[in-house]
């Protein structure tokens, strides 16, 4: 967690921890609660039929039909192709957000080269900072958010590599990730052998960039470069996660992959040392997240040791804020470590702590279920309200990704479900949750609007975005551009694939450019959306269990079988 943001207070103690007993009783239990309830309800209907007569029969059968359609509803609502189409669309947003010198085939007609002078000023220690991505509707390049976005994309590519391949989007998504990692490699001293002393954290000052309304292509003022010297453990660990995860995406490009791993290692070391100097308690989740990614990228046990020390795994004072987002990585780290336990069960000494992560992520999954009332939901089709009242969609998309991915982990490890206290649930409950959130985003909501530009019949037309709201050939000054912000007309440029911030807590959405709470898209939001769509689209059997483990040597020394007695 980087800044103190107000988190919704979640009473995590409200969930009984799923103990081993519960987990194993689940494995033995063959008639789960869900089924029993249906049976009881049917009996009740039969009795009512006998006693009260035909009127009630009708009422009852209607109820059953409604319940059934509700169940099937989420199993059949969006054909799998819809998720694939949305994934094609959602990826295009990243092309619109590119900064620096664009490739000829960037495919966004209204974008051109921009902010080529970033970092170039007398005495600059990072003189070439052109490149990277703008975070949202302005021209700020934030390493912290960009890192999280790239990590999410890489994660989804590692888990669902062949889906991207089948959809013809593999080289596209790889190009998107590389655009980010190439930029990261410019923002610290990659030639350092061991660790670094400073790093760039952001280009563009919030005040200026929010005040000015101009196309990034036309920015002519000097852009402020924020540099961290001996601090920023969260950022360094987050960037380590981004570089480590990307090294697995580019494993076939050995030289590049090695550069990424080296960068990740020196960043992580810097994160650890600056965490010791500062009060690092708010960087603890990034340390776990960066560490587990480094373990997967390198297979080096020292990283596993770091993230499975008891002190890190279980500190109740840090138990709040489990909402997985660009600002809080804990749940992501827990899920990644549960992956290790489910598929490789490394045993002692990591087992004790891995089991705790497994328990913790089970509780996170329980918190997504409506029956637990952990989070508020909107009335119309139940969009989960993970984080206050503004910009709900990116948090919902992240949760949808985690839930769908966990259901794949469980299914592939032959675990039929998981426990929330005394109740057990099948894995399809997780997928239903995931689909319900993504379907809401794609148009099954009370506004009948798709919150992804270019997907579906109706979508936002006044996206809060400087480049999209000013015609390509109009060069405006900082303040001159305000007329485009205030205009009540649709944007002249369609920013394809952008997922906007979303509706308010009552499913109400105003398509107005001036209110970023409704209409601003973000890099991190689209990354979560794309990751969730990768998990939900295509065939279930296209989950890739082994790619994540490719750097990990066999955990147990393989003892050669004794020679057969008749061998010479």
Ligand X SMILES: *[C@@H]1O[C@H](CO)[C@@H](O)[C@H](O)[C@H]1NC(C)=O
Which residues are at the interface with ligand X (CB under 6 A)?
Answer: 95, 101, 103, 105-107, 128, 130-131, 172, 175, 388-390, 447-448, 515, 517
Please spell the DSSP secondary structure of 149-166, one letter per residue: HHHHHHHHHHHSHHHHHH
Residues forming beta bridges with residue 419, ordered by sequence position? 424
Nearer to ligand X, 351 or 507 (CB): 507
How many CB atoms are closer than 10 A to CB 262?
17
Please count the CA atoms within 13 angstroms of the CA of 361 that sit on its side-chain side: 29
Question: Are the C-beta atoms of 387 and 323 separated by less than 8 Å?
Answer: yes
Quote the tokens at residue 175: 């190009």
DSSP calls for 18-74: --HHHHHHHHH--S-HHHHHHHHHHHHHHHHHHHH-HHHHHHHHHHHHHHHHHHHHH
The partner residues of 452 in beta bridges, in order of sequence, read 499
146, 183 contact by CB (below 8 A): yes
State the minimum distance, in angstroms, from the CB of residue 376 to ligand X: 14
CA 193 from centroid of its chain's CA atoms: 32
**Catalytic residue numbers, as ranges:** 464
Distance CA 125, CA 155 (A): 32
Q: CB-wise, 295 or 484, nearer to ligand X?
A: 484
Q: Helix, strand or coil for residue 395?
A: helix
Cα three-residue angle 375-380-381, rounded to 5 degrees: 75
173 near 153, Cβ under 8 Å? yes
Q: Which is nearer to ligand X, 512 or 542 (CB)?
A: 512
Q: Which helix (H) or strand (E) holds 180?
A: helix 170-184
CB 130, min distance to ligand X, A: 5
CB-nearer residue toward ligand X: 131 or 280: 131
Give Rg (Cα) of the chain: 25
Smallest distance, ligand X to C-beta of residue 186, A:
7
CB 243 within 8 Å of CB 269: no
Kindly state the DSSP code that residue 552 receives in the 8-state scheme.
Answer: P
Going along 51-208, which residue ranges are E strands? 141-142, 198-203
Phi, psi of 80 (to 5 degrees): -55, -30
Residue 204 structure tokens: 């563009």
Task: Give the shortest CB-408-to-ligand X separation in angstroms.
Answer: 28
């Amino acid at each position: 967690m980087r800044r103190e943001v107000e988190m919704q207070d979640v009473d995590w103690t409200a969930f009984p921890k799923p103990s081993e007993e519960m987990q194993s009783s689940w494995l033995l239990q063959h008639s789960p609660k869900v089924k029993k309830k249906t049976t009881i309800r049917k009996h009740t209907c039969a009795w009512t039929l006998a006693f009260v007569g035909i009127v009630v029969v009708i009422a009852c059968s209607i109820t059953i039909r409604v319940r059934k359609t509700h169940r099937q509803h989420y199993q059949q609502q969006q054909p799998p192709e819809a998720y694939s189409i949305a994934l094609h669309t959602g990826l295009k947003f990243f092309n619109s957000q590119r900064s620096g010198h664009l490739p000829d085939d960037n495919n966004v007609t209204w974008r051109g080269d921009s902010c080529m002078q970033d970092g170039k000023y007398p005495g600059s220690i990072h003189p070439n900072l052109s490149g990277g991505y703008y975070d949202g509707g302005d021209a700020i390049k934030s390493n912290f958010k960009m890192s999280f976005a790239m990590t999410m994309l890489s994660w989804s590519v590692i888990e669902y590599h062949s889906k991207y391949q089948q959809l013809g989007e593999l080289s596209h998504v790889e190009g998107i990730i590389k655009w980010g990692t190439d930029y990261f490699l410019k923002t610290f001293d990659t030639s350092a052998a061991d660790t670094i002393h400073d790093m760039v954290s952001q280009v563009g000052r919030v005040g200026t960039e929010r005040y000015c309304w101009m196309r990034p292509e036309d920015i002519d003022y000097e852009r402020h470069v924020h540099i961290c010297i001996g601090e920023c453990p969260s950022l360094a660990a987050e960037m380590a996660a981004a570089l480590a995860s990307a090294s697995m995406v580019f494993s076939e490009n050995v030289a590049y992959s090695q550069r990424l791993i080296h960068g990740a290692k020196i960043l992580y070391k810097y994160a650890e040392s600056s965490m010791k100097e500062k009060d690092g308690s708010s960087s603890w989740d990034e340390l776990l997240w960066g560490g587990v990614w480094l373990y997967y990228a390198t297979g080096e046990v020292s990283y596993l040791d770091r993230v499975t020390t008891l002190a890190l795994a279980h500190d109740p004072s840090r138990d709040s804020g489990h909402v997985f987002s660009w600002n809080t990585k804990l749940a992501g780290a827990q899920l990644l470590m549960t992956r290790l336990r489910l598929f490789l069960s490394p045993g002692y000494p990591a087992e004790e702590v891995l089991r705790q992560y497994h328990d913790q992520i089970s509780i996170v999954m329980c918190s997504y279920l409506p029956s637990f009332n952990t989070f508020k939901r909107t009335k119309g089709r139940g969009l989960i309200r993970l984080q206050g009242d503004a910009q709900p969609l990116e948090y919902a998309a992240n949760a949808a990704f985690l839930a769908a991915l966990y259901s794949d982990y469980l299914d592939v490890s032959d675990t039929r479900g998981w426990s929330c206290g005394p109740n057990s649930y099948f894995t399809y409950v997780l997928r239903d949750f995931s689909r319900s959130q993504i379907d809401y985003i794609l148009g099954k909501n009370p506004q009948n609007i798709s919150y992804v530009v270019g997907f579906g019949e109706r979508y936002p037309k006044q996206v809060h975005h400087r480049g999209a709201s000013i015609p390509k050939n109009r060069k405006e000054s900082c303040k001159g551009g305000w007329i485009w912000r205030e205009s009540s007309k649709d944007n002249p440029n369609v920013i394809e694939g952008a997922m906007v911030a979303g509706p308010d807590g009552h499913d109400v959405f105003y398509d107005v450019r001036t209110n970023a709470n409704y209409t601003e898209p973000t890099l991190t939001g689209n990354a979560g959306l794309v990751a969730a769509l990768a998990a939900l689209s295509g065939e279930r059997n296209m989950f890739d269990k082994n790619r994540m483990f490719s750097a990990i040597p066999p955990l147990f020394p393989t003892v050669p079988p004794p020679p057969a007695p008749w061998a010479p």
